[in-house]
Structure 1
Amino acid sequence: MAREPSQNQQHSHHWVRLATALMVVLFVAVAIWYGTLPEAPAESPAQATAVVSPGEPTFVGRTTCAGCHQEQVESWTGSHHDLAMQPANVGTVLGDFDQATFEYNGITSTFYRSGDRFMVRTDGPEGTLQDYPVLYTFGVTPLQQYLVEFPGGRLQALNIAWDARAVENGGQRWFHLYPDAAITHNDPLHWTGAQQNWNFMCAECHSTQLDKNYDASTRSYHTTWSEIDVSCEACHGPASNHLVWAKKEPGWEQLNNFSMGLTHMLNERNGATWQHDENTGQPVRHPARTTDTEIQVCAACHSRRAQLFEDDRTGQPLMDSFLPSLLEPGNYHADGQIDGEVYVYGSFTQSRMYQAGVTCSDCHNPHSLELRVPGNGVCLQCHTASSYDNESHHFHEVGSAGAECVDCHMPAKNFMVVDPRRDHSFRIPRPDESVALGTPNACTNCHDDKPAQWAADQLVSWYGEPPKGLQRFADAIHAARSGEADAQYQLAALLQEAGQPAIARATAARELRNWLNQDSLQAISKALEDKSPLVRYGAITALQPLPLELRWQLARPLLDDPERVVRALAAEALADVPRADLTVSERIALSNASDEYLESQRNNADTPSANVNLGAFFADRDEPVIAERYFMEALALDATWLPAYVNLADFYRRQNREQDGAQILRQGLAHLPDSADLNHSLGLLLVRQQRLTEAVTSLARAAELAPDNARYQYVYAVALHSAGQTAQALTVIDEALARLGHVPSLRELRWQLEAAR
């Protein structure tokens, strides 16, 4: 039986331990002095502590998140993100399915119930009435759409939607999303067509962990998701490693305490304050925002963009997966105001607020999506009421509509008939630009009985001069769209003005492709090194008309760009570069970027546009068999896809197959008889075949269908002159100049034709 040591024994052991320790210290000191300290023996496998490395993050679902983040989940519940998509049942369907009918373009659709199922009887892909069960609801307010399942895993969104607004606001009714378009079953916008396909057009932004899973060989989908709505991980990314960190499970130490196991941190507002500059009175963020993480996470869905790669929500930059739209006509007015449905991001990045460091969640609760403060209060979080929320600033009675900050600086436009979206460019109203350029302005949006000049004069009477604001690119973009003589100089100046929004500068770079010369190339070459990937992309698109050697010289560095989308599009611009002429490192760079480009397009193999892009890419690489296959696949997917006909006909021209080209253009005209592009292309083909009389007819039709296209007017006039109809050619030119103003090419042609008479 063991016994406790006596007091003397304890003291004896103490002195032994102390003496032993002193000897060890002395030994180590001597060893260090003489450099003879032996290496420590390696730990045996049994002694070593295993280092556990967390795996790739996976999705865990909001139920798991709610265990710690109950407040955020409660705020999110019932939000537009929560209700983005739901199974159709009595608790989710808002529309009237009690034998309600709706008539559109000669078709009467009926909404009814069959047991527990919600049904619609409407025109199918062949134009005949058919009965379809509604599988899911889509959205909740101010309108709700309905999804119908088709063979091949497709979900299609009905064009007839339910107006969820109150009766007193005009709601509680069925309505058509294209009320004035007379859509028929063979129209590209018909609800059974590709442009109303949920898998490609909608799913990514209405679900969580969406995998489209398109099978090009069978033209079918096997689309999956982890949650049917926009849940926690749609924004925060897959959270499995966050759980490891939170629970201190094996490997948690390797998860940086800053990231806490999350794929990206949405913490840019942490510790930030807004203070007022003593000299300007303007709010200034402290510290300055140096990253765009939150904005780019939101922009993945809240932007007009193309998705080139799968977005696994693991914190990559926006342009690693997406290509934001530039200031395209139809989407944006020349001054950058919204025209089409552009979903906020492209507008917001034009604003002074964006440049000052404002983020989405400065104004919006990111979980409920509501404003942080109602009314003008959301603006007064940063802007002083004494300076802005009074009549000396807005010149309207306090409390009236004209005194609302958003009505002047964020004018709204209705989309999908009943859904008002506000312009997030936070611009100063410019009725003076409305007078000069025809752009809209907030003043006459309300005072719609007054002309723009009245509003412009009113602002001068208030402020002494027309207020300018940050966005000063309207003249340059308008000049490019109008083909004005000095457009080149305005675009080059805009491109080099670093303080202007990147989306405008990128647009300027792209538009310079129509004015390539030594001066514009100098501006473009600088833009290829711009800090904004969007500007670099715009500059790449300007290079396409250049000779191969110069194009290679300028675009080669972009094959190693840090942003994947930029690398891929650089490879597209260099598709025709002969590999044999390259060094090993150049060949590797081009091959890697080309693989990324091919991945980006094959990721969208369910769209005719991607197949046209692939066809053009392989045509440039002199692989005609593959190229033709992709062009034909584009037409198989959508027989109304105009670019497929134009590009395939041009491909046949390059292959000396003009007869095939003529056949494909006529096939296109059978589907799209009012296409100016197809008529113009057929006219040029007939000119090459020396069938001038037929060519003039086609070119005349193109000029008639596109009266504002200066190029089509020019070619038509040349054809008339060649056919001996010079007087009529001069008439065409004069009428075009009267419509379009100064177009140098048309004026020069007129002088030449007059001289030839």
Structure 2
Amino acid sequence: MAAKKDRQPRLRLSTLGTVAPMAFASLLFNPLPFATANTHTLVEDSATQAVFVGRKTCAQCHQKEDQLWSGSHHDLAMQVASQKSVLGDFNNVRFTHFGVTSTFYKRDGKFMVRTDGPGGKLHDYEIKYTFGVYPLQQYLVEFPGGRLQALSIAWDSRPKSVGGQRWFHLYPDEKIAHDDVLHWTGLNQNWNHMCAGCHSTNLKKNYQPEQNRFHTTWSEINVSCEACHGPGSRHLAWAEQAENRGEPSKDGAQGLVVRLKDRDGVHWTIDAGTGNAQRSVPAKWGIEIELCARCHSRRATISEDYAPGRSLHDTHLPALLEERLYHADGQIKDEVYVYGSFRQSKMYRTGVTCSDCHEPHSLKLRASGNAVCAQCHLPQKFDASSHHFHKPGSMGASCVECHMPAKTYMVVDPRRDHSIRIPRPDLSVKLDTPNACNQCHTDRSTTWAADAVQKWVGRTPKGFQNFAEALHAGRSGAPAAQQLLVRLAADDSAPNIARATALSQLGRYLSPALLDVLKPALHDRDPMIRAATLRALEALEPNARFQLARHLLQDSVRAVRIEAARILAAVPQEQLAAEQRGVLAKAIDDYIAAERVNADRPESHLNLGILYANRGSFSQAESAYQTALKLQPSFVQAYVNLADLYRLRQRDDKGEAALRKALEIAPQDGDVHHALGLLLVRQKRLEEAMTALTEAAKLRPESARYQYVYAVALNSTGKSLAAIEVLTKAHKRHPNDQDLLFALVTFERDRGNLDSAVRYAEKLAELLPHDRFVQALLRRLRTQQER
């Protein structure tokens, strides 16, 4: 099967994607304006555990809020399929996608679809639930084992005048066969894991690993009052007692699980000089944003013990500004669901919360068009041609078109970038990032847009987010990367999500001098900074990691604690005192529990296998990898890890069998070919090894490592010219890769091509200006060149 360009499952508010659940160890707290995560006000009383009472009970007193909520996207997030809830055309309508014709029809009052099932043959399925409402509606089908699966054919609920009122496939340009990981009957389109928690209230996934089945429950099918406010029984009791007494209760919390008080007593006053509003009191809580972020973020779940008002990072791992998710300047690339973007914004820094712009019950904007921005930004200054340089009323005069450009996901669903930034076409010229100007002016170049902005403003505006060059350098391994990343990591004026990303990237540039930068970050008041810094320490030997990070094994925030456990798991037990072994074991138990939250996913068992292998528990590691393969037989990464485990156990015969099995499943997987090639090298079966390494390099031309290993193998068989050709092509793609440059220096020198060797050594010296070995190598080569 040809490689897919986009392997992201397309489900409403999907949270994990196709990546390992524990891959999102980034934390996103800024030092200002909000207090740290573990200072939130959570009202709890273990003696009187609150329980869910339902929307109808809430509506008895809160009629206004209930009316606003009725008909909202939260109200209609999930519904039983009925004549009222189903928007799609089920009047014997046929839809064909890559040769598979599906029929939507009704039978005995039920909504039905005849489409390809798990084996690829057509079957009839009943639609049990609707999922979402606008601009598309998806449909859920019941399967054995308590599973609900989301059809990949959805209904476009937009008006017909804009292309809606039609069936369409969420992967319109791809053939999704029945054995594809993205087929609607597979793991990656499973409702129980991918999306259930954010479309219903009090959702309990209840996966039972022994039976590989779900017993998923909810208290209300949609996103109702208690999804945000928490279970309401104690609040109900408080209200009844207050009514009986005839006077207000002294309970300031009013029996609520959490008080959403971010905006209590707050008003914004526009400063006539700047035209911008100032908050009457500094923001202190951040509860509301974290509460919304539980669903409106790209994150993984690490605990099901969620309660509104608790630190998000006790139960979830939000993503950093990773290359596959965000552009280098922080603009959205993949589906990231607002939170990570908003954390970058100046609005967040000044204390703006979600409900400043969105009415929290109806979810509608508090005002239409530019008026929502005019709440805080003086229209005479900002909603004027002197500011936006466009015709009034035109698209270019719209605040959001310039400062919150949209990207379309799921074919028909445009979502706005909540980083709320100044357009920077100059960065597009330099770094190939997108910009709002060229999103409209598609017939113009980025240079034209940059020149226009320069002419209008008289300078190149920088805006609030000024970390693009640092993150781009870190991603590409540019010569100035270390310096730029260190500067960003230490910049308190930068968004903490960018600082954390910089810290996580510093691992590839780790040196003794850098430890002085990382040590304070391990004690930072923000859990996000602490966790991101732990990632950077992975380049150190286990004992060195332990000396620096052992205190974080007892961190008050779960996300930090389990990340510390992960990177310290390989520390030899015999080198630790009894008390230290106990602390590490407890943190590792927390990590294992976090992974088991997602025990229905193969990635979690892969992560557990890695943990057990690092601990020397090889039997447990093998069992974990085998479990991953039971859940998803096509999960080839588990075969690769299993083969490496057999290597550690000196059982390459079993490792080869595992890799051969993987190639039967995925013959075009370059990772498997590469792993097999290395195994065959160890067995001195060099001709077979060369075949496998050649295939890996051909299938993965973007992998600098695979090209390097292939070139070394070629050179070792006397094919130095071919090796240099491979390295030269790879160097053009990866100009800052140190291994490629080292190999080019070495191979060119050995062939007597000193001019070329010196040229590559100079590039290497530029990348590693403080590396004594590299500088000495360059001096020797220049001396030889002059003879």
Q: Structure 1-normalised TM-score? A: 0.91
State the match for 2:778 in structure 1: none
3-state DSSP of counterpart to 1:380 = helix
**1:563 and 1:359 mapped to 2: Cα distance?**
23
Separation in 2 of the partners of 1:410 and 1:303? 17
- Note if contact 1:85-1:206 (Cα within 8 Å) is conserved in structure 2: yes
Work out whether 1:497 is the aligned partner of 2:482. no
What corresponds to 1:379 in structure 2? 373
Could you tell me which residue of structure 2 aligns to residue 664 of structure 1?
Answer: 658
**CA deviation profile, 1:271-311 (whole Å, cap 9, x unmatched):** 11223456644322120101110000000000000011104
2:318 matched residue in structure 1: 324
- Secondary structure in 1 aligned to 2:103? strand
Residues 724, 744 of structure 2: 8 Å contact kept: yes
Cα deviation per residue 1:67-88 (whole Å; 9 max; x = unaligned)? 1111001100000000000001
C-alpha displacement of 1:664: 1.6
Taking structure 1 as reference, are residues 490 and 256 closer, same or farther at Cα in structure 2, changes over 3 Å only? farther
Compare 575-584 and 532-541 and name the one that shifted more: 575-584
How far 1:226 sits from its partner (Å)?
A: 0.2
Which residue does the alignment assign to 1:41? none
> Residues 48-93 of structure 1: CA distance to partner in whole angstroms, max 9, x if unpaired?
xxxx995111111111100111100110000000000000111111
Q: Find the aligned partners of 2:522 and 2:466 in 1 and give their Cα distance.
A: 22
- Corresponding residue number in structure 1 for 2:128: 135
Assess, with a 3 A threshold, how the Cα gap between structure 1 residues 250 and 618 changes in structure 2: closer, same or farther: farther
Residues 244 and 251 of structure 1 are in contact (CA less than 8 Å); yes or no, is this contact kept in structure 2?
no
Structure 2 match to 1:155: 148
8 Å Cα contact 1:77-1:368 kept in structure 2:
yes
Residue in 2 that maps onto 1:268: 262
Instruction: Provide the secondary structure at the position in 2 that maps to 1:112.
Output: strand
Q: 1:747 to 1:76 in 2, by over 3 A?
A: same
Amino acid at match of 1:369: L
Does residue 208 (structure 1) correspond to residue 201 (structure 2)? The answer is yes
CA contact (8 A) 2:94 2:102 kept: yes
Matched, 1:88 2:81: yes
* 1:703–1:712 Cα contact (<8 Å) kept: yes
Q: Which whole-Å CA distance do the structure 2 matches of 1:462 and 1:513 have between them?
A: 41
Worse overlay, 558-567 or 61-70: 558-567
CA deviations 1:709-737 (Å, max 9, x no partner) are 22222112111111211101111111122
Matched, 1:699 2:693: yes
Measured at CA, do residues 510 and 374 of structure 1 come closer, stay the same or move farther in structure 2, by a change above 3 Å?
same
CA distance in 1, matches of 2:737, 2:217: 53
Is residue 681 from structure 1 mapped to residue 669 from structure 2 by the alignment? no
Does structure 1 residue 362 correspond to structure 2 residue 356? yes
Which of 588, 591, 596 is the matching residue for 1:594?
Answer: 588
Compute the RMSD of aligned alpha carbons. 1.9
Aligned to 1:43: none
- TM-aligned CA distance change 1:189 to 1:262, over 3 Å: same
8 Å contact from structure 1 (residues 142, 418) kept in 2: yes
The 5-angstrom pairing of residues 465-484 of structure 1 reads 465-484=459-478
Partner of 2:65: 72
* Residue of structure 2 in register with 1:105 after alignment: 98
**Which amino acid counterpart does residue 190 of structure 2 have in structure 1?**
N
Q: Distance in 2 between matches of 1:656 and 1:285?
A: 65
The within-5 A match list for 1:473-622 is: 473-622=467-616
CA gap of 1:677–1:491, structure 2 versus 1, over 3 A, is: farther
CA deviations 1:510-563 (Å, max 9, x no partner) are 222212111222222222222222222111122223112111111211112121
State the alpha-carbon separation in 1 of the partners of residues 525 and 244 from structure 2.
Answer: 37
Q: 1:478 to 1:673 in 2, by over 3 A?
A: farther
**Cα distance change, pair 487–53 in 1 and its aligned pair in 2 (3 A):** closer
**Greater shift after overlay, 112-121 or 502-511?**
502-511
Shift of 1:448: 0.3
Cα deviation digits, residues 84-111 of structure 1 (max 9, x gap) = 0000111111111111111111111111
| Residues 597-606 or 731-740, more deviating | 731-740
Aligned partners of 1:206 and 1:229 also within 8 Å: yes
Aligned with 1:261: secondary structure?
coil
SS in 1 for 2:279: strand
Is 1:421 aligned with 2:415? Answer: yes
Point out the more displaced range, 692-701 or 108-117: 692-701
The separation in 2 between residues aligned to 1:484 and 1:664, in whole angstroms, is: 38
Asked if the contact 2:106–2:112 (Cα under 8 Å) also holds between the matched residues in 1, the reply is yes
2:306 aligns with one of 305, 308, 312: 312
Tell me if the contact between 1:485 and 1:744 (Cα under 8 Å) persists in the aligned partners.
no
Residue 595 of structure 1 deviates from its aligned partner by 1.8
User: For the structure 1 residues 538 and 149, does the alpha-carbon distance in structure 2 shift closer, same or farther, using more than 3 Å as the test?
Assistant: same
SS of structure 2 residue aligned to 1:569: helix
Select the residue among 97, 114, 135 that pairs with 1:121: 114
1:717 partnered with 2:704: no
Letter in 2 for 1:616: I
Answer whether contact 1:236 1:313 (CA < 8 A) is retained.
Answer: no
- Mapped to 1, the partners of 2:479 and 2:692 lie a distance apart of 29
- Give the Cα separation in 1 of the matches to 2:574 and 2:512: 29
The aligned counterpart of 1:31 is none
- Contact preservation (8 Å) 2:228, 2:308: no
1:357-389 CA-to-partner distances (Å, cap 9, x unmatched) read: 000000000000000000000000000012100
- Structure 1's 254 and 714: CA in aligned 2 closer, same or farther, altered over 3 A? farther
Q: Which protein is bigger by CA-based radius of gyration?
A: 1
Worse-superposed segment, 440-449 or 684-693 = 684-693
The CA distance in 2 between the partners of 1:497 and 1:680, in whole Å, is 41
CA contact (8 A) 2:152 2:184 kept: yes
Tell me, in whole angstroms, the C-alpha distance in 2 between the residues paired with 1:462 and 1:542: 42
Residue 572 of structure 1 aligns to which amino acid in structure 2? R
The corresponding residue for 2:280 is 286
Closer/same/farther in 2, CA of residues 707 and 486 from structure 1, 3 Å limit: farther
The one-letter code of the counterpart of 1:755 is R
CA–CA separation in structure 1 for the residues paired with 2:710 and 2:250: 66
Please name the residue that 2:402 is paired with. Answer: 408
Per the alignment, residue 19 of structure 1 pairs with none
Displacement of 1:327 after TM fit? 1.5
Tell me, in whole angstroms, the C-alpha distance in 2 between the residues paired with 1:563 and 1:234: 23
Candidates 234, 239, 244, aligned match of 1:241: 234
- Specify which of 161, 165, 170 is matched with residue 168 of structure 1: 161
Q: Which residue of 2 aligns with 1:755?
A: 749
- Aligned partners of 2:242 and 2:248 also within 8 Å: no
Pairwise CA distance, 1:341: 0.7
Q: Distance in 1 between matches of 2:449 and 2:494?
A: 26
The count of residues paired between Structure 1 and Structure 2 equals: 706
Gaps of 5+ in 1: 1-51
Amino acid at match of 1:236: H
Q: Which structure has the higher relative contact order (CA within 8 Å, separation 6+)?
A: 2
- For the residues of structure 2 that align with 1:117 and 1:585, how far apart are their CA atoms? 62
Asked if 2 retains the 8 angstrom alpha-carbon contact of 1:209 and 1:312, the reply is no
Distance 1:426 1:487 in 2: 26
Q: 1:599 to 1:110 in 2, by over 3 A?
A: same
**Mapped partners of 2:684, 2:672: distance in 1:** 18
Query: Once structures 1 and 2 are overlaid, which stretch shifts more, 532-541 or 99-108?
Result: 532-541
Counterparts of residues 731-742 of structure 1 (less than 5 Å): 731-742=725-736
> Match for residue 621 of structure 2?
627
- For residues 614 and 741 of structure 1, what CA distance do their matches in structure 2 show? 36
Whole-Å Cα distance in 2 between the matches of residues 659 and 428 of structure 1? 58
Tell me which residue corresponds to 1:17: none
Indicate the larger mover: 468-477 or 393-402: 468-477
Letter in 2 for 1:226: S
SS of residue in 2 equivalent to 1:121 = strand
CA contact (8 A) 1:54 1:251 kept: no
Aligned to 2:176: 183
Corresponding letter in the other structure for 1:217: E
Stretches of structure 2 lacking an aligned partner (at least 5 in a row) = 1-44, 752-787
* Matched residue, 1:456: 450
Partner of 1:217: 210
**Contact 2:147-2:214 within 8 A present in 1 as well:** yes
